Structure 1
Amino acid sequence: MTELSAEAQRSAESRGESGRQWMAALPGIVAELCARWSLRPGAPISGGKWAYVAHVTTADGSGAVLKVSPPDAEFHTPARLMAAADGRGYVRLLAQDASRCALLMEPLGAPLAATGLPVDGMLDVLAATLRQAWRAPCVPGHTVAAANDKAVGLIGLLDDLWPATGKPCSPQLIAKARGFAERRAAPAAGTEQVACHGDPHPGNLLAVGAPRPGAETGYVFVDPDGLLCDPGYDLGVAMSGWQELVLRADQPVALVRGWSRRLAAATGVDEETVWEWAFVERVTSGLFLMSHGHQDEGRELLASAELLR
C-alpha cells in the first residue's frame, strides 16, 4: 500500500542515496503515522511527482489524504502556509508531523486539469482561486527583501542546470530567460509581495467535495511552495504549461500573449510582469525536470520556450 508512482520513484532516485533510503523506510513511516493518527491506509493516489500520497480513513470513518515527502524536501514553509490559510484557497490541513515530513489533509476531487475546460476557462479559475489564496497571511519568518529572492534563485538554476543537463536548449534561450529574471530580481519600488503558492498549475488545483467558505471557485490548491514573491510569479507559473498547444500553434507568441493578457486583466497584475515570469519559469522548469529524471517533459518545455523567444 506504500507504492510510489513511477514519477515519484524517479524523483526519489534522482536524490541519490538519501532518496533510496527514504523509499526503503517509507512503509515503516506510513505504518507509524497510521498508528499514531488512527488511520486505515487506502490506495495510493496516482500523479504525485515528488512524494507519497494516499487515501486514508480516519477513526470516525471520514476520508482524508496522507502525504509523506522525502526528508530533504522543503516542508516547513508549505505546511505553515497551509495552516495559516486555514482552508482559504488551499486544502484544509488536519494534522502534520514535521519530523516525518507528513501532512494529513481533507480529501479532494479531481484536478482542474481533468475537467476538459478550454485553456481560457482554466486560467479564469486559476486566477480567481489565486486571488483568494494570496490573502493568506505571510508565513512567519518571511521578510520583504530589496531584491526578489525567487528571481535570484532562478538565475542560479539557469547558470547551474544548463551545463549540468548537457546544454539541452540554445544559449540564446538561456540569455533571454536570464535577462527577464534579472529584471524581476529588481522590482520597482512598492511592488506588492504576497505569500505565493509557487506552483499553481491546473494539476495542483483540486475540486472540493462540497461548497465551503474559502473555496468559492469550487477548487483549492495543494502542494504549495510557500514563498514570498510578487503575485506575477504565480500567474507566470499558471500559464507556463500547455506545451503541446504551443508547439503546434501557428502563432505561438500570439497564443501565449493572449494568456498573459487574460490573467493580467483578471488580477490587475502588470501583463509584462506575467509574461516575463512565465518565460523564465518555462525554461527553468524544463531544466529542473531534466535534472530530476523527467527528460521528455523537460525537453517539451524547453522546445516550447524556444518558440516564444
Structure 2
Amino acid sequence: MIELPDLMHRTAVSRGAHDWLAALPVRVAQVCADWALTPGPALAGGSAALVLRVRREDGSAAVLRLAPPGDGFAGQVRTLAAADGHGYVRLYAYDADRDAALLEPLGPALAAAGLPPERVLDVMAATLRQAWLVPSPPDAAVPPGTDKASTLIELIEQLWAETGQPCPAAVVDRALDYARRRADAFDPEAAVVCHGDAHPDNALAVLSPRPGAESGYVFVDPDGFLCDPGYDLGVVVRGWEDELLAAADPVALLRGWCARLSAATGVDAQVIWEWAFVERVSSGLYMIRHGQPDAGRAYLASAARLLG
C-alpha cells in the first residue's frame, strides 16, 4: 500500500477526483509492471500528482509521476521533451494514456535549502533563463482572450464570489487592474514558453552537475504555455508572505526583489511587480477554494499590505 501525501490527497478530493484516487493503487501496479519498476515511497511536496521514488530494472533510481485528470499532462511532457534537460528535469519515458511519466531523480527543493531570499531569487532567475530557451511548439497559438492575464481576470472574479469575498475589495480591484494591463500588453511575438508555476518548491537540485542545470537546479511540473517572461518572475515572488507580513516596509522589500530579478533577466521590474500581485491574489483565492484556507488567507493578507 502507498501512503498518499496529505496535501495531494486533499487537493484531489477538493477537485472531485475520487475515482482517480481509488484507481491509483492499480494504476501504480500496472505502470510499474510495464516499465519494470520497483516502487518506493511517495514524495511529499506536490499538490496534485502522485510522485514516487522507483528503481529501474538496471538498478538505477528514477521518479514516477502519475497525474490526475485535468493536470495538463500532455503539455507537461511536451515541454519536458522539448527542453531535453535544459532548465527542466529530464524525461525518461511517458505513457499518455495513463498520464504517467518516468523522470530523472532529483534532490531537495530550493525552498528547503535555507538560503536567504536574495540568493533564492538569483538561482531562480538563472534557472528560468535556461528554461526560457525551450522552443515554442510549431503550432503554438494564443487566441484572443486566452492569454494568461485574461484567464486570471476570469478566475479572480469567479473565486472572489465563490470564496465569500475573503479580502478587501481594494485588493481584488488592484489585481484586476494589473491583470488588464498585462492582457493589453500581451505580445505573442515576445512570448516565451513559460514554466507557469515557477516557485522555489518547483525548483529541485540536480544530483550531479550536468549541462542545462548550471544553476544547480531544474524545474519540475511545467504548465508550458506562451506568455510574457515577466509572468514566471512574478510567480517567483508571489509568495514570501511571512517575510512581507513581518516587514516594516513590505512595498520596499518586494520592489527590491523585483529590481533584483529585473537586473538578472532584463525583464522590466514593474511588469514583474504587477504579475506578482495578480498571482498573489489569484493564488490566495485558489488555495482557499481548494483546501488550503490558512495559506490562501496569508497570501491575501500580504497582498493587502502591498496596496500602499
Segments of 4+ in structure 1 off by > 3 A?
Answer: 144-148, 188-191
Q: CA contact under 8 A between 2:147 and 2:186: conserved in structure 1?
A: no
Residues 190 and 57 from structure 1, CA distance in 2 versus in 1: closer, same or farther, beyond 3 angstroms?
closer
Distance 2:78 2:138 in 1: 8
% identity of equivalent residues: 55
One-letter amino acid matched to 1:28? V
Residue number in structure 1 paired with 2:239: 241
Shift of 1:103: 0.9
Q: CA contact under 8 A between 1:65 and 1:105: conserved in structure 2?
A: yes
Q: Secondary structure at the match of 1:43?
A: strand
Shift of 1:101: 1.1
Distance 1:146 1:20 in 2: 34
Residues 118 and 42 from structure 1, CA distance in 2 versus in 1: closer, same or farther, beyond 3 angstroms?
same
Shift of 1:302: 0.5
1:155-203 alpha-carbon deviations (Å, 9 max, x no partner): 0011100010111011111111000000000116686200000111111
Residues 250 and 217 from structure 1, CA distance in 2 versus in 1: closer, same or farther, beyond 3 angstroms?
same
Residue number in structure 2 paired with 1:302: 300
Alignment of 1:44-55 (within 5 A): 44-55=42-53
Residue number in structure 1 paired with 2:224: 226
Q: Does 1:20 align with 2:18?
A: yes
Distance 1:175 1:26 in 2: 41
Shift of 1:145: 4.9
Residue number in structure 1 paired with 2:131: 133
Q: CA contact under 8 A between 2:197 and 2:223: conserved in structure 1?
A: yes
RMSD of aligned C-alpha atoms?
1.3
Distance 2:46 2:218 in 1: 17
Q: Secondary structure at the match of 1:186?
A: helix
Q: CA contact under 8 A between 1:264 and 1:270: conserved in structure 2?
A: yes
Q: CA contact under 8 A between 2:87 and 2:131: conserved in structure 1?
A: yes
Residue number in structure 2 paired with 1:152: 150
Residue number in structure 2 paired with 1:117: 115
Distance 1:293 1:190 in 2: 34
Q: Secondary structure at the match of 1:47?
A: coil
1:253-307 alpha-carbon deviations (Å, 9 max, x no partner): 0000001000011000011100000000000000111111111111110010010
Residue number in structure 1 paired with 2:269: 271
Q: Does 1:166 align with 2:138?
A: no
Shift of 1:241: 1.1
Alignment of 1:282-297 (within 5 A): 282-297=280-295
Unaligned runs of 5+ in 1: none
Q: Which moved more, 1:184-193 or 1:38-47?
A: 184-193
Q: Secondary structure at the match of 2:248?
A: coil
Distance 2:156 2:280 in 1: 11
Residue number in structure 1 paired with 2:5: 5
Distance 2:113 2:146 in 1: 34
Distance 1:275 1:139 in 2: 28
Q: Does 1:192 align with 2:184?
A: no
Q: CA contact under 8 A between 1:51 and 1:70: conserved in structure 2?
A: yes
Shift of 1:3: 2.2
